[in-house]
Structure 1
Amino acid sequence: MHCATRRGLLAASLALAAGAALPAGAAEAWPARPITLVVPQGPGSGSDISARLIAQFMATELGQPVVVDNRAGAGGIVAHQAVMRAPADGYTLLFTSTAQLLVVPEINPSARYTLDDFTPVAPVLRAPFAILVAATPGSPRTLNELVERLRATPAAFASAGVGTMTHLASEIFLNRAGVKATHVPYKGSGAALADLMGGQVLFAADSLTASLPFVRSGKLRALAVTGDQREGSLPEVPTLAEAGLPGDPVAVIGGLFAPKGIPKDVAARIGHAADVALRKPEVVARFAAMETGILHVSNDAFVAQLRREAPGWQALVRKMGIKAE
C-alpha cells in the first residue's frame, strides 16, 4: 500500500473514531463563534450604549466576541423580525424592552411577532418616567396643581411620538387624574422636551435619561415619577401614588431575548454572563449616570413580569385606538 494511501486511511479512521466518541446528535460546545446582539435603535442611543457596555463584559465571561448589530427601522420591527427568524442556537440575541416587544405589535399589525416568538434570557433594566413641566414662573409646582390646571384650562402635552411609551405614560397619568389634554407628538424626546421648555405644551412624561439634565439645570421641573419608588437622583420627587394617583407602576423593563426554542443550558449561560456584566462596577456606574435602573431579578421573575404587564399595555393601546402612522 502506498504511504499516501495509508496516511489517508489513518486520517479517516481517526475521524471516525472521534465521531464515535461523541453521543449521537451532539453539537459543538457553545459558544464556538461570535455572538450577535441585535439592537432595534441606532448607534449612540441609550439602548445602544447599554448593549455595547454589557456586550463587552459578556464577551469576557463567554470567551467569544459579542458583536452589537444596530438594526433601526419601523419602530423596532426590522430587528425583532430578524431575530425571530434566526436559528435558536444562542448566536443571535435581541436587546429590547416593553416598548418594542409588547406595544409596537399592538399598534402596527405588520410587526407579526409577539412575546411568545422569543425566549427571555436575561433581565437588564427598568426605566420609569417623570411627569415634567417647564420650570418657569406660573407653571405648576406640584402634581395636584398640574391636575387642577388641566381641569380648568384646555392644554396640550408632548410625547416622543404616537404610541411611544412617553405617549402611553402620559395617557395613564391623564386617565388616573380624570382629566384630558391634547396630544402633540414629536419625532423623539429631544424635540418634545425642547417645546416643553419653550412653553408650546404644558407637560410631558419622559425618561429620566432624557430629562434629568434639564431638571438639574433648572429648565424643567419634575412633579412625580411613575415607578414604584422614589428615584435616587430625585429623592424629593414623589411617586404618582404618593402624589395621590395610585395604581400600578409605569416603567419600561428590558433585557436580552433569544429566538423561541433556544436550548435551556445555552439560555442559562447567556443569563449568567449578563448577570456578571451587570454587576461590574463600570456597568453599575454607567447605568447610574444614564439614570437607568438595573433589573436585578431572576429570569423567571422577568418572564412573569412581562406576561403580567403585556395585557395592560395592549388593552391601553386598543382603548386609545392608537394605530401606526
Structure 2
Amino acid sequence: MKVVITGGGGFVGGMLGRRLLARAELTGPSGRPERIDRVVLLDVAHPPDAGAGDDARVERVTGDVTNADLLRSAVDPDDVSVFHLASMVSGACEEDFDGALDANLGGVHAVLEAARARSSTPRVVFTSSIAAFGGEAIAGTVSDSTKLTPETTYGTTKAIGELLVNDYTRKGFVDGRSARLPTVVIRPGRPNAAASSWCSGIFREPLGGEEAIVPVDPDIRVPISGYRTLVDNLIRLHEVPGADIGTDRGVNLPAIAVTAREMADALRSVASDRTLGPITHRPDPTVSRIFAGWAQHSSSERATALGLVTDQGLEPIIEAYIEDFL
C-alpha cells in the first residue's frame, strides 16, 4: 500500500515517515495489515535534513496541498492511507486570515476530495488541535464532548476541518479520524511562527547555550506531548477500527499539562551536567492573548480507551531530544 503524508517535509511529517518505514505495514482500506510499498512526503519544500532518509520506498513531492490535481495524483491508487499534517501555524494564521483559510480549509478539502475519488474508502488522519476549543468552554478540563468555540483563526480552521472529516466519513467517502493535537515538543531547529513555539525553545535554546524567552505567564498550564509519543499516537489512531471510534471522529490526543516553570525545572534536572543558556520571562501581549484562549487541561479518556498512550513526564521527553539531536 501507499501512505501519503502532507506536510511531509516538516519535523513531525518526517518523523512519521521514518516510523512508518520502520513499521513496514499498516492497516489498509481492506481492514487488514498491508505492506507499505511507498511513503509519499508532500510539502512546499523539502529541507535536506528532513524526511525519511534515502529509503527507496520514499517519494518526495513538492507542491501546495491546496492543488487538487497534485493531491489526486498523489492519493492514488485505491490502496492508500493519508496523514494530513500540512497547515499554516497559529501565529501566522492570526496575521494572515485569508491565507489561513486558503491553506487550512482549502488543504483539508483538497485532501478529502482526493481520498473521496478513490473507490476504497481510504483512512485519513487529519491533525486538528486543542486550539479548536476556546471561550467559556475551556474554564475546566476539555474533553471530546466539549463544544468547539475557538478564539483564534487557526483553531477555527481546525474545528471546521473536524466537521468536514465527520461528514465525509458519514457519507462513506473516507474513513476519517481527527487527531486533536496538544503542543508538540521538543522541535529542533529554529523557532517558527506558532504561538506555542516557545514551548520547544525553552528546552532547545538553553541546551544549545542560547537564551530562551518565555512570552507568557510562567505558571499557565500547557498541554504538551513529546514528538515520539505524538507520532506513535497518530499511527495508533490510524489503526483503530472506525466502528470503535464512532460517528464523532475528533479525538483529544493524550497530553501532560505543565507550566513553563516546571519545564525549566525539569530541564535543569535532566541536563545538570551541561552549561545551559538562560531562560528569561519576557511577556508578549499577542502570544499571551492567544494562550489565554487555549485550554490548560485536556481529558483523553476516550483516546486511552482506544489504545493511545501518554508521556510519562517531562524528563523522558527531554532525554529523547538529547539522544536524537544533540
* TM-score using structure 2 length: 0.33
* TM-score using structure 1 length: 0.33
Q: Mark the structure with the bigger radius of gyration.
A: 1
Question: Greater relative contact order (Cα 8 A, min sep 6): structure 1 or 2?
Answer: 1
